[in-house]
Amino acid sequence: MRLIVSFYRYNSDVRKKYLDAMEKLPWEDVIRDRGASFPSIRDVFLHVLSAYRYWFQYAIYNNLGEYRRIDPDKFKSVDEMRKYESEVDSMVMSLIDGLREEDLVKIHVIQDGTETHNVMMEAIVMHMIEEELQHRGEINCMFWQQNIDPPIIEYGEWLGQWANL
Protein backbone atom coordinates (compact mmCIF):
# COMPACT_ATOMS: atom_id res chain seq x y z
CA MET A 1 0.00 0.00 0.00
CA ARG A 2 2.80 2.40 0.88
CA LEU A 3 4.40 1.81 -2.51
CA ILE A 4 1.13 2.67 -4.26
CA VAL A 5 0.85 5.89 -2.25
CA SER A 6 4.47 6.71 -3.14
CA PHE A 7 3.76 6.24 -6.85
CA TYR A 8 0.78 8.56 -6.61
CA ARG A 9 2.80 11.20 -4.76
CA TYR A 10 5.52 10.88 -7.38
CA ASN A 11 3.04 11.32 -10.23
CA SER A 12 1.45 14.29 -8.46
CA ASP A 13 4.82 16.02 -8.05
CA VAL A 14 5.95 15.26 -11.60
CA ARG A 15 2.69 16.52 -13.10
CA LYS A 16 3.38 19.94 -11.66
CA LYS A 17 6.88 19.94 -13.16
CA TYR A 18 5.34 19.26 -16.58
CA LEU A 19 3.02 22.22 -16.11
CA ASP A 20 6.05 24.35 -15.21
CA ALA A 21 7.78 23.18 -18.40
CA MET A 22 4.68 23.86 -20.52
CA GLU A 23 4.52 27.35 -19.08
CA LYS A 24 7.93 28.08 -20.63
CA LEU A 25 6.71 27.12 -24.12
CA PRO A 26 4.81 29.37 -26.47
CA TRP A 27 1.11 28.45 -26.17
CA GLU A 28 1.10 27.50 -29.87
CA ASP A 29 3.62 24.73 -29.08
CA VAL A 30 1.49 23.44 -26.20
CA ILE A 31 -1.60 23.11 -28.43
CA ARG A 32 0.09 22.10 -31.72
CA ASP A 33 -1.33 18.87 -33.20
CA ARG A 34 1.47 16.32 -33.20
CA GLY A 35 -0.55 13.27 -34.21
CA ALA A 36 -0.30 11.52 -30.83
CA SER A 37 -3.05 9.56 -29.07
CA PHE A 38 -4.53 12.98 -28.34
CA PRO A 39 -3.37 15.77 -30.63
CA SER A 40 -1.31 18.10 -28.44
CA ILE A 41 0.70 18.27 -25.24
CA ARG A 42 -2.28 20.01 -23.65
CA ASP A 43 -4.73 17.37 -24.86
CA VAL A 44 -2.66 14.39 -23.67
CA PHE A 45 -2.08 16.02 -20.28
CA LEU A 46 -5.77 16.81 -19.85
CA HIS A 47 -6.72 13.29 -20.96
CA VAL A 48 -4.82 11.87 -17.98
CA LEU A 49 -6.69 14.17 -15.61
CA SER A 50 -9.97 13.22 -17.25
CA ALA A 51 -9.12 9.53 -16.83
CA TYR A 52 -8.59 10.08 -13.11
CA ARG A 53 -12.00 11.70 -12.90
CA TYR A 54 -13.58 8.85 -14.90
CA TRP A 55 -12.27 6.18 -12.53
CA PHE A 56 -12.00 7.91 -9.14
CA GLN A 57 -14.90 10.33 -9.25
CA TYR A 58 -17.47 8.38 -11.26
CA ALA A 59 -16.73 4.72 -12.09
CA ILE A 60 -15.99 3.46 -8.59
CA TYR A 61 -19.20 5.06 -7.40
CA ASN A 62 -21.18 3.49 -10.27
CA ASN A 63 -22.11 6.94 -11.50
CA LEU A 64 -20.76 7.00 -15.06
CA GLY A 65 -24.02 8.47 -16.33
CA GLU A 66 -22.93 11.77 -14.75
CA TYR A 67 -19.41 11.73 -16.24
CA ARG A 68 -18.70 14.30 -18.94
CA ARG A 69 -15.44 14.51 -20.85
CA ILE A 70 -13.71 17.81 -20.67
CA ASP A 71 -13.19 19.85 -23.81
CA PRO A 72 -9.45 20.60 -24.06
CA ASP A 73 -10.16 23.59 -26.30
CA LYS A 74 -11.78 25.34 -23.33
CA PHE A 75 -8.35 25.50 -21.68
CA LYS A 76 -6.65 28.60 -23.06
CA SER A 77 -3.59 28.76 -20.81
CA VAL A 78 -1.31 26.71 -18.61
CA ASP A 79 -2.77 28.57 -15.62
CA GLU A 80 -6.21 27.14 -16.44
CA MET A 81 -4.65 23.67 -16.77
CA ARG A 82 -2.85 24.12 -13.46
CA LYS A 83 -6.10 25.01 -11.70
CA TYR A 84 -7.82 21.92 -13.13
CA GLU A 85 -4.84 19.72 -12.23
CA SER A 86 -4.98 20.99 -8.67
CA GLU A 87 -8.67 20.13 -8.37
CA VAL A 88 -8.21 16.64 -9.82
CA ASP A 89 -5.03 16.02 -7.82
CA SER A 90 -6.78 16.97 -4.59
CA MET A 91 -9.58 14.50 -5.33
CA VAL A 92 -7.15 11.73 -6.33
CA MET A 93 -4.80 12.14 -3.38
CA SER A 94 -7.69 12.33 -0.93
CA LEU A 95 -8.95 8.99 -2.23
CA ILE A 96 -5.48 7.39 -2.32
CA ASP A 97 -4.51 8.66 1.14
CA GLY A 98 -7.77 7.26 2.51
CA LEU A 99 -7.32 3.77 1.04
CA ARG A 100 -6.56 0.88 3.33
CA GLU A 101 -5.08 -2.45 2.37
CA GLU A 102 -8.50 -4.11 2.57
CA ASP A 103 -9.96 -1.50 0.18
CA LEU A 104 -7.69 -2.74 -2.61
CA VAL A 105 -9.54 -6.05 -2.88
CA LYS A 106 -12.98 -4.44 -3.04
CA ILE A 107 -14.83 -5.23 -6.26
CA HIS A 108 -16.55 -2.29 -7.95
CA VAL A 109 -19.46 -2.98 -10.26
CA ILE A 110 -19.03 -0.55 -13.10
CA GLN A 111 -21.77 -0.04 -15.67
CA ASP A 112 -20.34 1.46 -18.83
CA GLY A 113 -23.17 1.92 -21.29
CA THR A 114 -24.75 -1.49 -21.77
CA GLU A 115 -21.80 -3.41 -20.29
CA THR A 116 -21.20 -4.26 -16.65
CA HIS A 117 -17.70 -4.90 -15.33
CA ASN A 118 -16.54 -6.19 -11.96
CA VAL A 119 -13.24 -4.46 -11.27
CA MET A 120 -11.03 -4.75 -8.21
CA MET A 121 -9.92 -1.42 -6.75
CA GLU A 122 -6.28 -2.50 -6.90
CA ALA A 123 -6.61 -2.96 -10.68
CA ILE A 124 -8.04 0.54 -11.05
CA VAL A 125 -5.31 2.08 -8.90
CA MET A 126 -2.56 0.26 -10.79
CA HIS A 127 -4.14 1.04 -14.17
CA MET A 128 -4.02 4.76 -13.45
CA ILE A 129 -0.32 4.59 -12.56
CA GLU A 130 0.30 2.91 -15.91
CA GLU A 131 -2.04 5.30 -17.74
CA GLU A 132 -0.19 8.35 -16.52
CA LEU A 133 3.26 6.93 -17.21
CA GLN A 134 2.26 5.87 -20.73
CA HIS A 135 0.96 9.30 -21.63
CA ARG A 136 3.89 11.04 -19.95
CA GLY A 137 6.10 9.14 -22.38
CA GLU A 138 4.06 10.62 -25.22
CA ILE A 139 4.47 14.10 -23.78
CA ASN A 140 8.22 13.48 -23.48
CA CYS A 141 8.31 12.66 -27.19
CA MET A 142 6.46 15.88 -27.98
CA PHE A 143 9.05 17.84 -25.99
CA TRP A 144 11.86 16.00 -27.80
CA GLN A 145 10.27 16.88 -31.15
CA GLN A 146 11.01 20.50 -30.20
CA ASN A 147 14.55 19.65 -29.03
CA ILE A 148 13.54 20.35 -25.45
CA ASP A 149 14.41 18.03 -22.59
CA PRO A 150 11.27 17.02 -20.69
CA PRO A 151 11.17 17.71 -16.95
CA ILE A 152 12.01 14.20 -15.76
CA ILE A 153 12.56 13.82 -12.01
CA GLU A 154 15.67 11.88 -11.10
CA TYR A 155 14.85 8.30 -10.20
CA GLY A 156 17.35 8.36 -7.34
CA GLU A 157 15.34 10.99 -5.48
CA TRP A 158 12.38 8.64 -5.24
CA LEU A 159 14.41 5.45 -4.91
CA GLY A 160 15.61 6.67 -1.51
CA GLN A 161 12.02 7.15 -0.36
CA TRP A 162 11.00 3.70 -1.62
CA ALA A 163 13.92 2.06 0.16
CA ASN A 164 12.49 3.26 3.48
CA LEU A 165 9.05 1.73 2.95
Domains and CATH numbers, the chain: 2-163 (1.20.120.450)
For residue 3, the model assigns a pLDDT of: 86
For residue 113, the model assigns a pLDDT of: 78
Quick one: pLDDT band at residue 159, thresholds 50, 70, 90? low
Query: Per-residue pLDDT for 165 more than 90?
Result: no
Query: Per-residue pLDDT for 122 more than 80?
Result: yes
Averaged over 118-127, what is the pLDDT? 95
23, containing H or E segment: helix 2-23
pLDDT tens across 74-119, in order?
Answer: 999 999 999 999 999 999 999 999 999 999 999 999 988 788 899 9
pLDDT tens across 3-61, in order?
Answer: 899 899 989 999 999 999 999 999 999 999 999 999 999 999 999 999 999 999 999 99
Burial 82-116 (b: 16+ CB within 10 A, else e): bebbeebbeebeebbeebeeeebeeebebeeeeee
For residue 156, the model assigns a pLDDT of: 60
